[in-house]
Amino acid sequence: MTTKTNSQKHNDTMLKVIALVCAVLLWCYAEVQENPSKERQLTVPVQYVNLASGYVVENANQVVQITVKGNETDIMSLRSDDFTAVVDLSNAAVGNAEYPVQVSSAAVSERFTYLPDKLAVSIDQILQKEVPVHLRTNGAVAEYYELQHTDIQPDTVVIQGKSSLIADISAVETVPIDISGITSDKELIGILQLPEGVTAQTLDTEFRADAEIAVYLYVQPIQSQQKLEAIIGVRNVQEGLDFVLDTEKVSLTLKGDAELLAQQPILDQLLFYVDCNHLAAGTYTLPIQVEALNETVHEALQEVSPQTVTVTLQAEVMILPNREPENGNEAINSDSDKTIDAE
């Protein structure tokens, strides 16, 4: 039996090592050919944790880009929700600052990297403050009516939002309420017009973006005042008497609902007169009386001036025609007429 020398043994070992290396390389080559190494990128949204109550992240919609390297079969099945990107805000303060990002995955064994590893985060504080409410309207109430006054309940509200949003808010308004054509009092619901990101607490206990208030509208007819003149009539003058008034007209002032007065022929609805019943010839101071044919117009009559008038009653004057003399007497002068007082 032939015994191998040390040199031969060394050569055999080297050949075995070379064969093993070649086998490994061949296997790797085959593996790469069948399942080559790939690189894949995923976008993962950032979660903000441990932020103190009463604070908010203004630029919260941030993401990180994750790059995963591995064989194609393994990495192509990965999804964004296989990763968690977290920014810890335990020690955060109001303002802008950079905070580290931590990315982890329980489902991924492959090597991965991510960018950015720090994020600029803007933090603001949620504040509340009380402000007055202003009512806004559009349109106009009906003709001959006026919006006398309004009332809102509550007339102040507590608003809530980021300090940067509410710092300059000194009052809030309602969404415009249409009052077109209103002729009577109304009770309505008004909705507050708030900036985006601001809520208010009003009729209920919750802060809402569409907070409501109670609105009361008080509408009254417009009061109109008119000054007119009317003729003074004379009634019940005894037969055979004539009359003379020291003034023939009366001044009157009317005040009432403008719509009603506009619809009425006022001077046709009021008659002004003095009553000479049972009065003989002479001069009298008589009260001016009113006969109203329309109660609405009568109620609107505020003042009559004068309230009395001087009436002079006298016998009627009759003019007699020329006539021939009797019993041959001379004719009456034809150039003149005689007048006699009627008894």
d(CA 105, CA 83): 5
pLDDT in the model for residue 292: 87
Mean per-residue pLDDT, 231-247: 94
pLDDT in the model for residue 7: 66
pLDDT in the model for residue 4: 55
Q: Which CATH class is domain 223-319?
A: mainly beta
Q: Which fold has domain 135-221?
A: RNA Polymerase Alpha Subunit; Chain A, domain 2 (2.170.120)
Q: Which amino acid is at 328?
A: G
Instruction: Considering only residues 293 and 287, tell me which one the structure prediction assigns the higher pLDDT.
Output: 287
Q: Is 252 helix (H, G, I), strand (E, B) or coil?
A: strand
CATH value of 37-125 in 3.40.50.850, 3.40.50.300, 3.40.50.1100, 2.170.120.30: 2.170.120.30
pLDDT tens, position by position, 179-217:
999 999 999 999 999 999 999 998 767 899 999 999 999
| pLDDT > 90: percent of the chain | 54
Element (H, E) at 269: helix 266-269
pTM for the predicted model, two decimal places: 0.58
| Cβ-proximal residues to 286 (8 Å cutoff; 6+ apart), any chain | 274, 275, 276, 308, 309, 310, 311
Give the tokens for residue 308.
Answer: 């009395």
* Pick from 83-87, 244-248, 286-290, 313-317: least confident: 313-317
Intrachain domains 135-221 and 223-319 with the same fold = yes
Q: Of 7-16, 35-44, 285-294, 326-335, which one has max mean pLDDT?
A: 285-294
Whether the link from the prior residue into 45 is cis, omega within 30° of 0, is no
* C-alpha dihedral (195, 126, 43, 49), degrees to nearest 10: -160
- Do residues 219 and 176 lie in contact, with contact meaning Cβ atoms separated by under 8 Å? no
* Pick from 27-41, 100-114, 284-298: least confident: 27-41
pLDDT tens, position by position, 149-181:
999 999 999 999 999 899 999 999 999 999 999
Mean per-residue pLDDT, 82-101: 92
Q: Which amino acid is at 109?
A: S
Q: Chain-wide mean pLDDT for the chain?
A: 84
pLDDT in the model for residue 179: 95
Domain boundaries, the chain: 1-34, 37-125, 135-221, 223-319
pLDDT in the model for residue 68: 87
